[in-house]
Structure 1
Amino acid sequence: MVSIEGMTEFWDRLFGAQPDPPPLLVLLTGLVALLVVATRLPWRIARNAITIAHEGGHALVALLTGRKLHGIRLHSDTSGLTLSAGRPTGLGMVLTLLAGYLAPPLVGLGGAWLLAGNRITLLLWIAVILLLAMLVMIRNVYGALSLVVTGGAVLAVSWYASPQVQAAFAWTGVWFLLLGGVRPVVELQRLRSRGGMPASDADQLAGITPLPAFFWVVLFGLVNLAVLVAGGLLLAGPLLAGIGITW
């Protein structure tokens, strides 16, 4: 039986603020995330986290707009598929298609906001809860394994790691979501220019709206860049304060 003292300790640990991270940690974690995004093999491995956020964005908005969610698949080539039923056109479908490419940096922005308040443990536990919620809708073995491994790693860090390791893990992950949301948009347009991905989110949006696919690709890119700047400013707070800049 859990004691009141134990529950209080857990509650304080979950919602309490951790110490400000060293400015050097903020800088180094951002550089590590940038290196992963910019380097071929690390990106190929880590991109699975972007796919999880991408498909999670489709699924969440589908549910919020009244569509019936049939399931989510994650594949070993870092692609994914979210199936929902409802009207094939209309605002709900537009928002569902929009959500995929915008979700990773927007999730990163939410994480940056929590880290700006030093709520590191809370951020990690929210990530675990979201991964568990998404696991319910996974419809293939690789997808389930990906979420279990990812969620297990986050949970282990949140529960067993030192505050310094938690901070490094959280800042790197959030930087990665912010930076990693931009590269898929660039890759999308490159593939489209070569005739690839004819059923991409942008092309599907073009099929149900009067606007061309290139408009939607540009919109993805501009929104993700704006979110990257906003999230970067939140994350860089300790670094800027360390050199005497406040905002």
Structure 2
Amino acid sequence: MDFLAEIWSRASAQLAPPEQWVVWVTGLVALAVVLYRPTWRVSRHVVTIAHEGAHAFAALVTGRRLSGIRLHSDTSGLTVSSGKPRGFGMILTALAGYVGPGLVGLGAAFMLRQGYAVGLLWLLILVLALMLLQIRNWFGLWSILVSGVVLGAVSWFASTEWQAITSYLVTWFLLLAAPRPVLELQTERRNGRARTSDADMLARLTPFPGLFWVGVFLVVTLGALALGSWWIGAWSVEHLPRF
């Protein structure tokens, strides 16, 4: 009980934002990770976790039965759910994947704006723990465990300053990374290599073509990036010392 009480005490503590240079340097670091191909190949696994987690969450909230999640070494993933093959639940489940990382990043930015940088880390650990119950392959198990251990170590052992830096870095990464898989998806579709993509599934479920849904993914992820960046930047400016 003392352990849980200590976690709650840390997670519920509101912190002032770090210095301005920390906020923007973490954003630049995250941008470099997204744009530099070698680091993107590794970090894209984080986007896949958010993508498949969003599919799973949408399936559950729409009443579908979740059967499992698989994460693969090539950064692809698969979330299996059962229920009606058409209708709102299936549409929302298919839609959630590509917009998921951006919306998670937006939610993280909101938590930072409220001062819950440490609470964000513990919430992410909880989400990973819940996902772990649905993982159905070894690489997925390894991916979730490594992510959880890293966040857990920072949340428990690191100083408050480093916890805040990690929270900002994760948030910036999710916001900045979210649009890139959408652009990659359209490249794959144009080359005829993504016939079973979420966009094409939505095209079969709705009257709108796959390109329309790629546009929706892009608008949502770019919108989340714009709003999340404004929340983070404006809040840190508001807390600058006044002279």
- TM-score normalised by structure 1 residue count: 0.93
Contact 2:16 2:239 in 1 (8 A): no
Q: Name which of 189, 194, 198 aligns with 1:192.
A: 189
Q: Which runs of 4+ in 1 moved over 6 A?
A: none
> Which string of whole-angstrom CA distances, capped at 9 and with x for unpartnered residues, describes residues 69-114 of structure 1?
1100000011000011111111100000000001101011111111
**Unpaired segments of 5 or more residues in structure 2?**
none
Alignment of 1:235 onto 2:232: yes
Contact 2:17 2:236 in 1 (8 A): no
Name the structure 2 match of 1:103: 100
Contact 2:16 2:115 in 1 (8 A): yes
1:19 aligned counterpart, secondary structure: coil
Query: What is the Cα deviation at residue 241 of structure 1?
Result: 3.6
1:87-102 equivalences under 5 Å are 87-102=84-99
| Larger CA deviation: 175-184 vs 12-21 | 12-21
Q: Distance in 1 between matches of 2:101 and 2:180?
A: 11
Name the structure 1 match of 2:204: 207
Query: What is the Cα deviation at residue 11 of structure 1?
Result: 3.5
1:236 aligned counterpart, secondary structure: helix
- TM-score normalised by structure 2 residue count: 0.95
Give the alignment's Cα RMSD to 1 decimal. 1.6
Aligned residues: 241
Name the structure 1 match of 2:112: 115
Cα gap change, 1:71/1:162 in structure 2, threshold over 3 Å: closer, same or farther? same
Q: Distance in 2 between matches of 1:8 and 1:94?
A: 40
| Larger CA deviation: 187-196 vs 12-21 | 12-21
Alignment of 1:132 onto 2:160: no
Name the structure 1 match of 2:65: 68
**Unpaired segments of 5 or more residues in structure 1?**
none
1:7-22 equivalences under 5 Å are 10-22=7-19
Contact 1:27 1:239 in 2 (8 A): no
Contact 1:124 1:170 in 2 (8 A): yes
Tell me the amino acid that sits aligned with residue 26 of structure 2. Answer: T
> Which string of whole-angstrom CA distances, capped at 9 and with x for unpartnered residues, describes residues 118-160 of structure 1?
2111110000000000000000011011001101100110111
> Which string of whole-angstrom CA distances, capped at 9 and with x for unpartnered residues, describes residues 193-240 of structure 1?
111111000000001111100000001001111111111111113553
Q: Name which of 164, 167, 170 aligns with 2:167.
A: 170
Q: Distance in 1 between matches of 2:121 and 2:67?
A: 27
Q: Distance in 2 between matches of 1:192 and 1:205?
A: 14
Cα gap change, 1:28/1:234 in structure 2, threshold over 3 Å: closer, same or farther? same
Tell me the amino acid that sits aligned with residue 8 of structure 2. Answer: W
Query: What is the Cα deviation at residue 57 of structure 1?
Result: 0.4
Contact 1:21 1:238 in 2 (8 A): no
Contact 1:125 1:158 in 2 (8 A): yes
Q: Distance in 1 between matches of 2:119 and 2:172?
A: 17
Tell me the amino acid that sits aligned with residue 24 of structure 1. Answer: W
How many percent identity over aligned positions?
48
Cα gap change, 1:37/1:114 in structure 2, threshold over 3 Å: closer, same or farther? same
Name the structure 2 match of 1:183: 180
